Amino acid sequence: MSGTGSKICGLILIIISIFLLLGGLYLPAAVIPVWILRGLDIAGLILLAVGIVMYKVLKR
């Protein structure tokens, strides 16, 4: 993947991770089960880390 493609993909992953983290942190447990909220938090953190790596590290 080119440097520009890597940056765009990284930014998309960072944006998705922000929405996952917001959903996991601010949705009440009465609406969604707690294990789904923890899954959203974990998925958001993983996507954030991968997005940062793709945006910053993978430059060709």
Is the confidence at residue 50, as pLDDT, over 80? Answer: yes
Closest CA to 4 of 55, 57, 49, 47: 55
Q: How many domains does the chain have?
A: 1
Alpha helices (H) along 1-60 = 3-26, 34-52
Residue 2: the pLDDT is 75
Say how many CA atoms lie within 13 Å of 43 toward its Cβ. Answer: 13
pLDDT in tens, 14-35: 999 999 999 989 989 898 999 9
Domain of 25 in residue numbering reads as 3-57
> Tens digits of per-residue pLDDT, 3-17?
788 889 999 999 999
